[in-house]
Amino acid sequence: MYLSKLFIPITKDLPAEAKIKSHQLMLRTGMIKQSSAGIYSWLPLGFKVMKKIEQIVREEQNLIGAQEMLMPTIQSSEIWKESGRYDDYGEEMLRIKDRQGREILYGPTNEELITDVFRTSVKSYKLLPQLLYHIQWKFRDEIRPRFGVMRCKEFYMKDAYSFDLSDEDAKKSYNKMFYSYLKTFNRLDLKAIPMAADTGPIGGDLSHEFVILADTGESDIYADKNIFEIDLNRYKFDDSSLQKMREDFTKVYAVTDEKFKKEEFNKLVKKENQIITKGIEVGHIFYFSDKYSKPMNCLIDDKSGKKTSVKMGSYGIGVSRLVGAIIEAKYNNDIMKWPESIAPFKVVIIPSISKNNKENLEKAIKIYQELKKQNIDVLLDDVDENMSNKFKKHDLIGIPYQIIVGAKSDDDNFEFKEVNNTSQILSLDKIKSKLKN
């Protein structure tokens, strides 16, 4: 992509309404534009990052055998009345009437809808277990939306649902998702702590939040730092190993503020190992047994032919929220530092351009064409602008690598720089080798 063709409305001024760094940077770099309170348009730069996150989430869900589907954003009120949540959910639910006067709603979550899909399609234990997921927009009418995409009304989310014959089988599905979430956040270069949590309006008796450390987070974290020493790679993808994995993680103290007890914390965690800080929730998993299947009459025939309520769990990851969360966890001195796996571009070529000298731009175009042949996601800054402004702009955007074509360039050697690092002079072949790793 040529920068001159990219729709990227960068602003110099700090947005007055933005109170945290991710909101400020996303507005300044033209990643999003506010449409109304808590609702945003995702512009090309921000949308590209979000779609890369979505793809990583999708790949990790597929690896554990989850199957992707798509449910609508608009749901009937009738299934929510069946479960008993229609009146209980509260004012965050956006309730609407269609032209026939029927009550419908913009889905804040999908437990009822997926239960309705399942009960009309599966009648026998022989088709279990099942893991189904979709990635879809959701809406919650937040009374006070704030912090940009971190707490907004409309958001993009992956939610998955498990269906099993017994509580024992259901815990195995829960463990698979526990594993998948840790793998997902590792690929996003995030250290996520699985923390015992309240189940809230979803319900059930088993729940974990996945929280990343960030000073601007809304969650209070109380944990033993040894939780970061657990190596996920030592576990195999089988039921006994995954059970051991969850036990290893959950026996290390890590809880949200709702479950925090000071005396217990001080007793179980050595003073030097105590972490008391802030964090951002990026994922939440629940096991709720037959909370929805029982009132909604979602029954299957067990091995003896007896009808029984299917056992269910749900598992959410905030895909759009992760864009802001990663910025909060990674930014340094007003510079975004994207993990390579989700950066809007892997490398930007920055030539020194003047009206009387087009040689650097010609060299930059040749480099651009070479990198494109290697399937490297590259941005070429072909805009006639002074180099100081170019560096400020690209540091702000946070593309991981820069190739600078200017005074230090010599024949086939160019200045190569990693964001927040010193530059070095390398041949184009060495640059390509580094970018392909």
What does 58-75 look like in DSSP terms, one character per residue?
HHHHHHTT-EE----SEE
* Percent of the chain surpassing pLDDT 90: 81
* Mean pLDDT of the residues in the chain: 93
pLDDT band at 121 (very low <50, low <70, confident <90, very high): very high
- Domains present along the chain, CATH in parentheses: 3-330 (3.30.930.10), 347-436 (3.40.50.800)
Structure token pair of residue 26: 């996303």
Structure token pair of residue 38: 């808590």
* Helices and strands, number each (H, E), in the chain: 11, 21
Of residues 64, 274, 306, 323, the one with CA closest to residue 174? 64
pLDDT digits (tens, 9 = 90+) for 80-99: 999 999 999 989 999 999 99
Structure token pair of residue 48: 């590209």
* Percent of the chain surpassing pLDDT 70: 98
pTM for the model? 0.94
Q: Which residues pair with 206 in a beta bridge?
A: 287
Of residues 228, 437, 213, 233, the one with CA closest to residue 340? 437
Are 16 and 143 in contact, with CB atoms under 8 Å apart? no
Q: What is the average per-residue pLDDT within 359-364?
A: 92
pLDDT value at 203 more than 70: no
Task: Give the DSSP letter of residue 146.
Answer: B
